[in-house]
Amino acid sequence: MIALKNVSVIFNQGTVNENQALTNINLNVREGDFITIIGSNGAGKSTLFNLIAGTITPTLGSIHVKGRNVTHEPEFKRAQYIGRIFQNPLLGTASNMSLEDNMMITYRKGFKWLKRSLNTKMREYFRSELLQLKMGLEHRMKENLLMFSGGQRQALTLLMMVLSKPALIMLDEHTAALDPKNAEIVLELTDKFIKEHKLTSMMITHNMSHAIEYGNRLLMMDRGEIIFDAAGDAKKELTVEKLIEKFHELRHHGFENDRALLAE
């Protein structure tokens, strides 16, 4: 469904600060894939996401969505069919607006007109959807999001994104800024929603056991390259030890250092 063809990203090309962030990436995301992505800091995971979301354009190569070349489509246009959640829980919602207003804004993608869509029927619908989160938010529809915890806001961002039915969802370490308990809740909700709505998804994580537990495909990245791609049965057989071994086998550098970063 989404294909990256020979994509390279070079920051500050031609200057002393030249930095090859991604080197010749070829990736084909199939419909219904749930891909987990691991890699140490600076491996290019977030750059890969920025590339697919349209925050940056590749230096070389092209990006295709359902056969259409979207390499130069701006981020806001691609957001019509791509949902993205960031590590920072504040980026998904507006702090100074009420919960129901936030849900109304994110309910439908695309430009908004002079129409008042928030009515009793919509409120009832939002309330029933909020029940799925089991956080008691359905009683706090008029409260400002400033009053909510990071975990609640991230769960809400997730729910609102699922309701807008994107073709691809991208989760950029979306539980990393939360405390362990909330991180677990949000991750379980993520898995539940992805399975229920059969969403095509990509998830960056620093936690190797999560990367193995969730999804049907695993990518390992290092220094701007995808060095390992396991899907289906090959992924099911993976363990943390096997992954670290694999990493060592493929790359012969800085193992001890990377082991700490990868395994946390």
Partner 1 sequence: MIEGILVEGLIYGIMVLGVFITFRVLDFPDLTVDGSFPLGAALMVQGILLGMNSWLALLLAFIGGVIAGVITALIHNHLKVPNLLAGILTMTMLYSINIRILGNRANVPVLEQDTILSDISSRLSGILPDEYIMLVFFLVMALIIKLLLDLFFRTDLGMAIGAMGNNEQMIISQGINPKTLKTIGLGLSNGLVAVSGAFAAQYLGFADVGLGQGIIITGLASVMIGEFLVMKSNRIGVLTLCALAGSILFQAVMYLGRYYGYIIQMTPNDLNLIKGLLIIILLVLTQSRKLNIAAFKAMVQK
Q: Which is nearer to partner 1, 38 or 161 (CB)?
A: 161
In whole angstroms, how close is the CB of 155 to partner 1 at the nearest point?
Answer: 16
What number of chain residues touch partner 1 (CB under 8 A)?
Answer: 35
Task: Based on the shown chain and the rule CB under 8 A, indicate whether residue 104 belongs to the binding site for partner 1.
Answer: yes
> Of the listed pieces 109-117, 226-234, 244-252, 256-264, which binds partner 1 according to CB under 8 A?
109-117
Rounded Cα–Cα distance for residues 183 and 156 (Å): 13
> In terms of CB distance, is 80 or 209 closer to partner 1?
80
Which of these segments, 30-38, 93-101, 132-140, 181-189, binds partner 1 (CB under 8 A)? 93-101
Residues 19-78 that bind partner 1 (CB under 8 A): 74-77
Measuring CA to CA, how many Å separate 180 from each of 139, 206, 212? 25, 13, 18
Residue 117 contacts partner 1 per CB under 8 A: yes
* CA dist list (Å): 15 to 21, 40, 52, 140, 176: 14, 25, 25, 52, 34
Helix axes 180-196, 150-163, angle to 10 degrees: 10
Burial of 124 (0-12, 13-18, 19+ CB in 10 A): exposed
Nearer to partner 1, 118 or 227 (CB): 118
Q: Which of 110, 131, 197, 250 binds partner 1 (CB under 8 A)?
A: 110
92 binding partner 1? (CB under 8 A)? yes
Question: Burial letters for 175-204: b for 16+ Cβ neighbours within 10 Å, e otherwise?
Answer: bebbeeebbebbbebbbebbeeeebbbbbb
Pairwise CA distance, residues 81 & 70, whole Å: 12
* Integer angstrom CA distances of residue 78 from 12, 154, 160, 257: 25, 22, 17, 37
Q: Does 238 bind partner 1 (CB under 8 A)?
A: no
Nearer Cβ to partner 1 (116/121)? 116
Residues of span 164-203 touching partner 1 by CB under 8 A: 164
Nearest CB to partner 1, comparing residues 40 and 106: 106
Smallest distance from partner 1 to CB 210, Å: 23
Minimum distance, C-beta of residue 119 to partner 1, in the bound complex (Å): 11
Q: Which of 98, 104, 99, 137 is nearest to 119 (CA)?
A: 104
Binding site for partner 1 (CB under 8 A): 74-77, 79-80, 83-84, 86, 90-98, 101-102, 104-106, 109-118, 144, 164
